[in-house]
Amino acid sequence: MSKVERKNIQVSQEEIARQHQFIEEIKQLNYQKEMQTERKKRFYLATFGCQMNEHDSEKLAGMLGEMGYSECEDMDESDLIIFNTCCVRENAELKVYGHLGAMKHLKEKNPDMIIAMCGCMMQQPEVVEHIKKVYRQVDLIFGTHNLYKFPELLFSAINSNKTVIDIMDSIGLIAEEMPIERKDEVKAWVTVMYGCNNFCSYCIVPYVRGRERSRYIENIVDEVRMLGRQGLKEITLLGQNVNSYGKDLGNDTTFAKLLGELNEVEGIERIRFMTSHPKDLSDELIFAMRDLNKVCEHLHLPFQSGSTRILKEMNRKYSKEDYLNLLEKVKINIPGISLTSDIIVGFPGETEEDFQDTLDVVEKGRFDQIYSFLYSKRTGTPAAKSVDQVPEEVKKERFQRLMEVQNRISNEINHEYLDKEIEVLVEGESKTNDKIYTGRTRENKIVNFDGNSEMIGKLVRVKIDTVKTWSLEGKVL
């Protein structure tokens, strides 16, 4: 049975063209200023949060590049400061407020400076109210749904003495054909879908990123083809829950089908994706991962808690057994696959027994790596209302024990690589030593080795001679 065609949520061509006009207007302004001052306008962009935000920042940088701005590392030196914020946990928000406070004196020194705030935090009305009241140095506030309108909003902020605020409280739109400035020459992020419909009871993301909406498959394939032509070798497909890709498109498109099409794109050697929700990980996707040669043997599959009771409270829609069975199926079908996961420690009502279930899943799952977080209360989410909050010391103590177990397992798994020869995609010089080069295996393990700049973007074979908890070291063959 064919589904109903979804209603049009694409930003129109006319609107995109209008934004390009604002880019042009700001470019002219900047050019005139540059002539007078003999100094190019500069922007400083700080990004908090996940890959979605990192990728949104690449879009902001793309637009700013076309406006004639160059990026700088020093807030003091910049004409425009942008904070692309995250609100998934309290400490992400506190970091932003810390920076904002410190920016007051910068603005006093340079009143022409524009300070802009965007990203997930700004989709919360109480945050915007707070910033308006307390941090009057802010000139522009916009959210996640109207990133494409940034040229127009920046133009208004430059030409106004008041704070420009534009938060779209919509389920979200999709804008194609805006510039993107990718810094990495080897790998690229590609958004396949926006938003989330899952409403896990602890999580703020569905409230700030809107409902699930998939990009059209043609647009994604076109973008990846272009990346292949530009010489990029690896793509990571992004979405809060990539497994639901296509469900809203009203045709038979699935994530597995998208992977199949992308596997054919010339030039691209490796395909990764994140994040996958256990409840939506279909057999079709597992088989696609098994059969498609470019899709890497790595799966990030957050389980959040090992306790079936807590999982129900979290609204995750699977039990401990469902999750362990799913892992087994994945491991049987894709031998050698590396697994990673997210875990929340200290969800309201979590007992020692519940936590033991989490440790048990970590032991049985044998993940290559886990990302664990102390539960953080997010206003507006159901779990925040629970009276059964776990004391901070208990959370920290459990977190510590979890890390110890996982560090042992990561070490054990990495030791299996000793003396093996593996394929590494070379990404660049290591940050600490310019004679050492760094890259990743298909399983997403970081490998450091003796290399040279000729190797960047190439696949090399490395023999592993040293093993650490977070990385491997070796010699190029």
Enumerate binding residues for ligand SF4 (CB under 6 A): 196, 198-200, 203, 205-206, 240-241, 277
Residues 50-89 that bind ligand F3S (CB under 6 A): 50, 52-53, 86-88
CB nearer to ligand SF4: pick between 99 and 279: 279
CB nearer to ligand SF4: pick between 62 and 206: 206
CB nearer to ligand F3S: pick between 191 and 369: 191
The one of ligand SAH, ligand F3S, ligand SF4, none whose footprint includes residue 330, by CB under 5 to 8 A per kind, is none
Name the segment binding ligand SAH (CB under 6 A); options: 146-154, 155-163, 306-314, 371-379: 371-379
Residue 302 binds ligand SAH, judged by CB under 6 A: yes
The one of ligand SF4, ligand F3S, ligand SAH, none whose footprint includes residue 52, by CB under 5 to 8 A per kind, is ligand F3S
Q: What is the 3-state secondary structure of the chain?
A: CCCCCCCCCECCHHHHHHHHHHHHHHHHHHHHHHHHHCCCCEEEEEECCCHHHHHHHHHHHHHHHHCCCEECCCHHHCCEEEEEECCCCHHHHHHHHHHHHHCHHHHHHCCCCEEEEEEHHHHCHHHHHHHHHHCCCCCEEECCCCHHHHHHHHHHHHCCCCCEEECCCCCCCECCCCCCCCCCCCEEEEECEECCCCCCCCCCHHHHHCCCEECCHHHHHHHHHHHHHCCCCEEEEECCCHHHCCCCCCCCCCHHHHHHHHCCCCCCCEEEEECCCHHHCCHHHHHHHHHCCCECCEEECCCECCCHHHHHHCCCCCCHHHHHHHHHHHHHHCCCCEEEEEEEECCCCCCHHHHHHHHHHHHHHCCCEEEEEECCCCCCCHHHHCCCCCCHHHHHHHHHHHHHHHHHHHHHHHHCCCCCEEEEEEEEECCCCCCEEEEECCCCCEEEEECCHHHCCCEEEEEEEEECCCEEEEEEC
Residue 425 binds ligand F3S, judged by CB under 6 A: no
Residues 85-114 that bind ligand SAH (CB under 6 A): 88-89
CB nearer to ligand F3S: pick between 173 and 208: 208
Residue 187 binds ligand SAH, judged by CB under 6 A: no
Q: How far is the CB of 94 from ligand SF4 (least distance, A)?
A: 20
Residue 147 binds ligand F3S, judged by CB under 6 A: no
Residue 209 binds ligand F3S, judged by CB under 6 A: yes
Instruction: Pick the binder of ligand SAH from 117, 203, 314, 327 (CB under 6 A).
Output: 203
Name the segment binding ligand F3S (CB under 6 A); options: 45-53, 126-134, 157-165, 167-175: 45-53
Q: Which residues bind ligand SAH (CB under 6 A)?
A: 88-89, 202-203, 205, 240-241, 275, 277, 302, 304, 342, 344, 373, 375-376, 378
List residues near ligand F3S by CB under 6 A: 49-50, 52-53, 86-88, 120, 205, 208-209
